[in-house]
Amino acid sequence: MRTDSAVQRFGGPALFVLLWSTGFVGAKYGLPYAEPFTFLGARLVVAAALLGVLALATRSAAPSSPTQYGRAAVVGLLLHAGYLGGVFYAISLGVPAGVSAVIVSLQPVLTAVLAARVLGERPSARQWLGLALGVAGVVLVVGPGIVTAAPGESLSAAGLVACVVALASGTLGTVYQKRHGDDIPLIWGTAVQYVAAAAVLLAIAVATEDMTIHWTGEFVLAFVWLVLVLSIGAVLLLLLLLRRGTAAGVSSLYYLVPPAVAVEAYLLFGERVSGLSLIGIGVTALGVALVVTRRR
């Protein structure tokens, strides 16, 4: 039991951060070949179908009432249509991943504030310090890249608004899932989330995009990775973590995503990681540790 507990406390969060961080790499590979809402809508349709097959094969329970279906749909609209849609749209408009990471990294702080009011979760002074260190660490990680960006890389106002929409949607979705999602069957509930989000995203795509997809090798690789690793692996793991931990504690894991992306960009694309960024990675890790580990 002690080993299982250790895996749940440390193995699950570490795996989530690793998987979630690869979403930025997948978006970088795939978005040149498909428009954002078309790309994301198609991804969620395929993921929903695969989860449906998995649920039937494992004879998983389905939501037991219209209320559970409705709550799963709300989570899908917030966490997938709002959060992922906002991030994908911002990246498609040329907003650097670092800028979007800084904006979205405010989510743990907003989640802690909202969870205190809605869920009765009261972060300690130690945890508030950790949340503040997390923001500072993310700024140190991505700040050098933003400051040294090419002069022609001006930020899109619409892209920045999309980041704010993603931030608000992710925060609300996390708190709503923590409050209403624990009793919803995991696999079928996630499939319902994806169906609801895909319907909205594809409706937006029909209205604003030509829905053309160039099925290159890079796009297929990115698409398969994002469906299997992100939409199925990472999201199911996120929902499990929310069932076992506080909304603020799980949300603080997002602080570790920008440092992980910086390391992956260095390994995959040769992007330089500055000394200041390395310090930021350490500060971020310390901040998350203060939030998620219990005082003895």
Q: Which residues pair with 34 in a beta bridge?
A: 213
The Cα–Cα gap between 98 and 274 comes to 14
Say what the pLDDT of residue 75 is. Answer: 93
Say what the pLDDT of residue 147 is. Answer: 54
Q: Which residues pair with 213 in a beta bridge?
A: 34
Residues 6+ apart with CB under 8 A from 252: 108, 130, 131, 134, 287, 288, 291, 292
CB 170, CB 34: distance < 8 Å: no
Find the DSSP H helices in 181-216. Answer: 186-208
Say what the pLDDT of residue 3 is. Answer: 37
Q: Nearest Cα to 93, choosing from 170, 2, 160?
A: 160
For residue 64 the two structure tokens come to 């037991």
Q: What is the pLDDT along the chain (296 residues), one digit of tens a residue?
A: 443 344 345 567 778 888 888 887 788 788 899 999 999 999 999 999 999 999 999 998 999 899 999 999 999 999 999 998 998 898 888 776 666 766 777 777 777 777 777 777 676 777 778 777 877 777 776 666 555 554 455 567 788 889 889 989 988 998 898 888 778 898 999 999 999 999 999 999 999 999 999 999 999 999 999 999 999 988 888 888 877 777 667 767 777 777 777 777 677 766 666 677 677 767 777 777 776 665 54
Residues 6+ apart with CB under 8 A from 69: 63, 192
Residues 6+ apart with CB under 8 A from 68: 183, 184, 189
Q: How many domains does the structure of the chain reveal?
A: 1
Strand positions, DSSP E, 100-144: none
Neighbours of 2 (CB within 10 A): 6
For residue 111 the two structure tokens come to 């989640």
Query: For residue 152, what are the CA distances in angstroms to 149, 155, 175, 265?
Result: 8, 9, 38, 22
Task: For residue 76, give its domain range.
Answer: 2-292
The Cα–Cα gap between 168 and 85 comes to 12
The Cα–Cα gap between 116 and 74 comes to 21
Query: For residue 117, what are the CA distances in angstroms to 114, 137, 155, 178, 179?
Result: 5, 26, 34, 13, 12
The Cα–Cα gap between 262 and 173 comes to 26
